[in-house]
Amino acid sequence: MGKLNKLISRIPIMLALIIVMSFFIILAIILSKTTMNFVSEKIQLIKAKYISVEQETEEVSEAEYSVTHYIGRLPFSEEDKQAYKFYTLIYEYSSFFWCIVSITIGAVIFYFGKLKKPIKLLINASENISDDNLDFIIDYSGKDELGQLCSSFEKMRLSLMDNNRTMWRMVEEKRKLNKAFSHELRTPLTVMRGNVELLEKVYMRSDVSEDKKAALLKTVSKNIERIESYVYSMGTMSKLEDQPIQPMQTCSNKLSAQLKKSLEILCQGNGLVSTFEAETESKDINVDGNVVMQVFENIVSNAVRYAVNTIDVSCHISADHLVISVSDDGAGFSEEELKTATAPYYTGNPNDSEHHFGLGLYLCKILCEKHNGALKLTNNSTTGACVIASFFCK
């Protein structure tokens, strides 16, 4: 039965139904015929017990002929009468009986072998999804229409799970971003409050020089500009989250040439030497060129700030991803920076906080993930930092 069920699960539903029903209809015909023959013999035996026979023998032209004359039928005994009625009833309704039995057995086998498991899996999947529970697996190996439906449900479940993870990741990133923004905003606000309070105390005093008052006002103005910059950065990141990824077929060599030119411009302007390594074989890849360039320029700009003499870049295709690696010969990342450098508003050098808000690597990380890639921070084997950005390109 198990092998039959497994065989049935691999063929189309309509064909399986035709095969099962045909088999059991043929079986019903065979059983009906066998039953009718058996019952017919029993009826004939009962009849034979109640026939009176008179036999005469005549000789005609040297040949003997036996002539049998049936005189009449004697009445059945009560026992034989009941048996005769029973066998007659079976004879008349055996075909109908075996058809019903065979079709019922065929339907049961078809249901348990073909329909029960996938239907149960689909019902359970629907209930789990309606309860926002995606922690389950639809495991059905059938190759028929129901197997395809189960496979589609499983793909939908995985897609919903990925969407939920993405949504929760975005919510968590938003929470971290708001927390970092609040923390960074608190410093200039505190400075402004202190300076405003000081101004209120000294503004009308004649013993305080105008230069000192002007310096206090300049500090307040400077912190206002800093707050405006933070607000602008928040708006930029909000737009970034809504920015769609639009992959287009691009020649890898053409994209490499653009990356190399951008690298040379950024390095020459800061007195650094650059090297660029890329695959010689040209391939067609599907990437959003603007996003790739934006990430690349952000990473190189970050490397320019810490490099001593050189910046090395490699660009290659690995599996389904375009991988860009940017290395410098600076001090490299500390253990703490390897974990937190991609956080919003993180700056390794506190002196840079007035000019750099620590959003470059964070923005690169967001864009790489939106492009189904990733951003990885590491250190070179000798010295300096290495940032690896990957983008899905198939």
* CATH number of the domain within which 351 lies: 3.30.565.10
Greatest Cα pair distance in the chain: 171
Total number of domains constituting the chain: 3
Residues 75, 207 share a domain: no
Q: Clarify whether residues 238 and 192 are in a common domain.
A: yes
pLDDT (0 to 100) of residue 183: 58
Whether 119 and 28 share a structural domain? yes
Instruction: Read off the CATH number of the domain in which 238 is found.
Output: 1.10.287
Instruction: Among 242, 266, 293, identify where a domain stops.
Output: 242
Residue 193 and residue 229 share a domain: yes
- The ranges of the chain with pLDDT < 70 are 1-9, 51-74, 176-188, 191, 195, 202-208, 213, 226, 229-230, 232-242, 347-358
121 and 225 housed in the same domain? no
- 278: nearest Cα among 320, 313, 231: 313
Whether residues 269 and 234 fall in one domain? no
Give the residue from 242, 272, 298 where a domain finishes: 242
152 belongs to a structural domain:
no
Indicate whether 236 and 255 sit together in one domain. no
194 and 252 both lie in a single domain:
no
What is the per-residue pLDDT for 27?
A: 92
Q: Same domain for 252 and 386? A: yes
In a domain, 146, yes or no: no
Domain boundary among 242, 272, 292: 242
| Domain with 368 in it | 248-392
User: What pLDDT score was predicted for residue 239?
Assistant: 65
pLDDT score at 290: 87
CA distance 394 to 247: 9
3-state secondary structure of 226: helix
Q: Is residue 158 part of a domain?
A: no
Same-domain status, 31 and 52 = yes
Query: Which tens digit of pLDDT belongs to each residue from 161-199?
Result: 888 887 887 777 777 666 666 655 666 677 677 767 777
Which of 253, 314, 322, 320 lies closest to 288 in space, CA to CA?
Answer: 322
Three-state DSSP class for 60? Answer: strand
Environment class of 53 (CB within 10 Å of its CB; exposed 0-12, middle 13-18, buried 19+)? exposed
Q: How much is the pLDDT for 61?
A: 47
Do 222 and 296 sit in the same domain of this protein? no
163 found inside a domain: no
Tell whether 354 and 285 lie within a shared domain. yes
With beta carbons less than 8 A apart as the criterion, state whether 383 and 325 touch: no
The answer to the question of residue 82 being in a domain is yes
Q: Does 141 map to a domain? A: no
Contact 152/142 with Cβ under 8 angstroms?
no
In this predicted model, what pLDDT tens digit does every residue of 226-265 receive, in sequence order?
A: 677 667 666 666 666 667 788 999 898 889 998 998 898 8
Q: Are 307 and 294 in contact (CB under 8 A)?
A: no
